[in-house]
Chains A and B, each alone.
Chain A
């Protein structure tokens, strides 16, 4: 299966310690990539989780990936981590921004501080990580940035306004950044691409489906009649990461059980 072979590449998955981040990291490793991950806190439980993810990646793929614990909204910390990973592991070929947090709350009950927190943890993290990695990718003329956004990037759900805004922010950033970095020589195939995976309601991922009553309704309402599993998103990340998909750029691949089709 050479079309999607990632052997010899180095992937960095940010916000890796959720259910989705783990699935994406492992998929990249299974496709042959060396995988490094970032976690956002020094909390012991998260560190154990991160080590477990790295172990799974090591078992499946390259064995040199590392874990960095840092504040993804802190440009100096991210720059230092990216510099160290490029020096100690390998140049980063693939950046997957998988962090995903959802503040489900009425707007009238929300503060500006909560708005800033949601935008920061979902969107500022993508900006900071893309900048640190992109400034190295762009001179190399090839690379992949893959951002995970909820289908709420262009649809609405009550009590999800602030969460939805953070997803729209990521997507707007994705499209213009893709065009800023997507050019190159007419005779050279490699490109830097920036794309998104638009996820529907995935089990274990923060979002409205975390409410069991909503999940129960979705199980009947979704065209495919089931919530997605993190594993359902693995194919899309490997597809977008592959060296054969240079001409997919500024795109959102919807892995949503067809919810956007009838919504």
Chain B
């Protein structure tokens, strides 16, 4: 088998939460391009149906699920059962859905229980519920891949930025726990940490925001596709528990503000 065959996902099926828009949509399209059938989970039926039409036009099987609130475990359990019943073997889960949550910028005493829980629910609990629901199925099928979208915020912290970094850091640790627990059951777990990926390729926005980034440009959502395919495929069979940053070098550059370059005489 040549190396490009190792990136082939023919015969596999991926559940992707938040598949209707943004990064989730692009990951779904790239996986489908690589041969994978898709279960697209999202809140709004319009985008979930629209991405489904594109995926079906590529010749893949598609199931759209819109009635599932991924922060409610009973909904998640139903969604996974429905996906397995309709699609058969599920081999990949991408925990992509997540929200900024309420309360960003509030001081610690101002934060309400609801603020805290909204961030933890949508970013961490949702990934936990989906993982817990799919693992028995994957064990039955002889293995699988669980890919979770974290963030550069999973590594760093900011003033009065509480729930999101804590939840995204939790996703990284959840991934390590999955990797350790199921390493011998052929389940691989990994994280993707995206940098700044606005949902636009508008030239005015790119020109305004690009120079403020370490890479001189923002990320394009479609750039997430190849990373998702790599992590979902046999090409990454010896990778587990790890996070791959897709941030144009932003975390590595965190010691100085972007654009500040020290100069020294030779």
Contact = CB atoms under 8 A, between A and B. Distances in A.
Interface string A2-19: 111100000000000000
Contacts of A260: 241-242
A261 B227 contact: no
Given A175-B249, A223-B241, A251-B244, 7 more contacts: A3-B229, A179-B249, A233-B238, A239-B230, A244-B223, A249-B252, A255-B236
Most chain B beta-carbon contacts within 10 A, residue among A1, A244, A247, A248: A247
A228 B238 contact: yes
A223 B183 CA distance: 6
Interface residues of A, number: 53
Cβ-closest 6 pairs across A and B: A186-B210, A235-B235, A261-B241, A250-B252, A232-B238, A223-B183
- The main secondary structure of chain A at its interface with chain B is loop
19 contacts: A1-B4, A3-B34, A26-B3, A179-B214, A186-B216, A200-B238, A229-B238, A234-B235, A235-B6, A235-B233, A238-B3, A238-B4, A239-B227, A251-B245, A251-B249, A253-B239, A256-B238, A258-B179, A262-B241
A246 to B, nearest CB: 7
Contacts of B247: 247, 249
A1 B8 contact: yes
A129 interface: no
Contacts of A50: none
A43 B7 CA distance: 37
A236 interface: yes
Interface stretch (B79-87, B106-114, B126-134, B201-209): B201-209
A234 B235 CA distance: 7
B253 interface: yes
Contacts of B220: 189, 247
A251 to B, nearest CB: 5
A3 B3 contact: no
A177 to B, nearest CB: 10
Interface of B: 2-8, 30, 33-34, 176, 179-180, 183-184, 195, 203, 206-207, 209-211, 214-220, 223, 225-227, 229-230, 233-242, 244-249, 251-253
Contact of B184 (A191, A225, A239, A248): A225
A30 B226 contact: no
Given A178-B249, A183-B215, A187-B217, A223 B240 contact: yes
A60 interface: yes
A26 B4 CA distance: 12
B3 A236 contact: no
Interface in A20-58: 26-27, 30-31
A156 interface: no
Given A179-B252, A183-B216, A187-B210, A3 B7 contact: yes
A236 B241 CA distance: 15
B217 A258 contact: no
A3 B176 contact: no
A137 B247 CA distance: 21
Nearest to B212: A186
A52 to B, nearest CB: 18
Nearest to B177: A261
Nearest to B183: A223
Contacts of A229: 238
Nearest to B230: A239
Contact of B240 (A178, A189, A251, A261): A261
